[in-house]
Chains A and B, each alone.
Chain A
Amino acid sequence: MDLIQLLLNGLSLGAVYALFALGYTLVFSVLGVINFSHGAVFTLGAYFTYLLIGGQAGANGLLAGLQLPFALPFALALPLAGLASALVALLIERVAFRPLRRRGADSLLALISSLGAGVILVNLIQLLMGAESYAIPIGTLGALPAALSLGGAQVRTVQVLLLAISVLLLVVLSVWLEGSRSGKALQAVSEDPVTAQLLGIDSDAMIRLAFGISGFLAGVSGGLVGLSVSIAGPYFGISYGLKALGVLVLGGLGSVPGAMLGGLIIGLAEAFVPAAWSGWKDAVAYGFLFLILVLRPQGLLGKPQATKV
């Protein structure tokens, strides 16, 4: 395969991982917990996108043959699917996280309850839409050609689009976090929720905000992956979710630029695994993860945490 196509594959895959990992990071930085329902929200985003562009539900679910009365263009369906996923993420926060936070319970418990929420979502999707795979047709992009010519090489338009949208979202998010009042408030909460509260920041609202944005990012990346490689059934978010965990730790838990750097490294590394070794591709992310945890547990860009007595 062409070097440019390979590079683009790696970059776009990495960008999706980064989006995914950012969703984890936002929640982790304010609550100190990994939200294990994140992969399920990603899957949900892909299905929402599929339905919003006018896709028809398959024959095996309860919704067999269902089709929305309208068919939106992809450019409109994707953000809407993101918003719907954000609402679901807020619901998960309400049901699986808030009751435990109110009681000051061990954060390990939220890990389990969020996983329960993920199990429910995935099986709900399976019940409603069946276990079959769905493809988002390329025609939904309108007049865009299927392939572009870039520096003499033919590359898939979808990959370029995937990369462009992901980078745009990453930039917007970074600018918002560093430059805006609410972004700084979120950072303050992640630094110390009690002090932030004393300074007049509504910590609960910030936590909800983190969940909302994280759900939006998950939904949008789900839709993008659905467009680029098809939706491989209700469980397809889980493997992305696990690899994004690797990205997260590689970059440093709770570090936004770290999540981007980690996504880039793992995406490129996976893309450059030779085809003959493709069976070992999945081990790349976990291998990196394991190595970094042993060599530099705080991640590439994370700050070492001092143990408090």
Chain B
Amino acid sequence: MSAGLLQQMLIGALLGLSVYLPLRCGQLSLATPGFFAIGGTVAALLSTRIPAFAGTGATSPLPALLLEMGLGGLLAALLAWAIGGTVLRLRGIYLAIATIALVEILRVITLNLPFTGGALGIFGIPQPFATASGYAGFTLVLLALVCWLCARLEQLRLGRAMAAIRDDELAATCVGIDTAAVKLNAFVLSALLAGLTGALAAHFLNSWNAKVGSFDASITTLAFVVFGGSRTWLGPVIGGLVLTALPELLRPVGDLRLIVFGLVILLGPVLFPQGLITPQALQGLGHGLVGLGQQLRGYGHQLLERANGPRRP
């Protein structure tokens, strides 16, 4: 596996987590690619227009990248915060459609603004890392950090409130959870994550255009979560890694690869309605590991006994 593919997979995992956050409180938002596109556009504009961001050496300075990620994420989060209040009143399929519309509106705006390069987009985005492995290393650290935060979130009050809303919104309201605020938090966090991932992806891809945030991307990122499972943070991570790698791994079957990809998306929900990774599966795996450990310890004792001879009374 090349470092370039690994980098794409890691970005897939980050986007999967961005879709997962609203879904954890039962909100089907497909807006992630729109926020991803915003982050990337911010990074592409800053680093190609402002000399300080491009730097003078062979690679652009790392602090500039971090600043762009921060600004891209912040802008996406601000937009999410501004529209979240009204959009999140919608439920189920209506929210999904509204967020598809948002992504499409953002795409048309990017396409028509005078400074975003139209259909061709922005080219020659400076590189903070000389190699793909540099990117992959950085993104791996970022993903680990985000995973740790998500795992923490699931234990925290906010994370548990999110799960309560997903299971029963009315009941959650009745026990005193401010459901509107919790949903807005999840939506804003999702946008923040997608925005900063976009800033990173723009550098890695070297060029950025309006096509990045399209309906196709909405569905692909949703597929990450549905495929991996939306009950725990590990699901979307695995889904993002596997489904991003799949079309590349299927390259040997040539023209058939997108058809096979379609088959996976078609059959995935039919065969695994809960997704691949569920808490039950993890628990089962955990029990399995503990059992395996105990068995190994037993073998160890036996071996020791054989080596040392029978114990003296």
Residues of chain A at the chain B interface (Cβ within 8 Å): 32-34, 36, 95-96, 99-100, 103, 105-113, 115-120, 123-124, 126-127, 238, 242, 245-246, 249, 253, 279-280, 282-283, 286-287, 289-290, 293-294, 297, 307, 309
Contact = CB atoms under 8 A, between A and B. Distances in A.
A253 B265 contact: no
A297 B90 contact: yes
Nearest to A124: B259
Contact of B170 (A100, A110, A280, A309): A309
A112 B223 contact: yes
23 contacts: A33-B93, A34-B93, A100-B269, A100-B270, A107-B93, A108-B28, A109-B273, A111-B93, A112-B219, A112-B226, A113-B265, A115-B219, A115-B223, A116-B263, A117-B266, A118-B262, A119-B259, A119-B265, A120-B259, A123-B258, A246-B101, A249-B94, A283-B104
A123 B115 CA distance: 34
Given A120-B263, A126-B258, A286-B105, 18 more contacts: A34-B93, A99-B270, A100-B270, A109-B269, A112-B268, A113-B265, A113-B269, A113-B270, A116-B262, A119-B262, A123-B259, A126-B255, A245-B100, A279-B112, A282-B108, A287-B101, A293-B98, A294-B87
B105 A283 contact: yes
Contacts of A111: 93, 96
A115 B267 CA distance: 11
Interface in B251-266: 255-256, 258-259, 261-266
A33 B269 CA distance: 15
B265 A116 contact: yes
Contacts, number: 125
B97 A96 contact: no
A286 B102 CA distance: 8
B123 interface: no
B105 to A, nearest CB: 5
B2 interface: no
A115 to B, nearest CB: 5
B86 interface: yes
B111 interface: yes
B265 A293 contact: no
A242 B90 contact: no
A33 B273 CA distance: 16
A110 B256 CA distance: 23
A242 B96 CA distance: 12
A270 B215 CA distance: 20
A297 B226 contact: no
A282 B256 CA distance: 32
Contacts of A289: 97-98, 101
B85 to A, nearest CB: 10
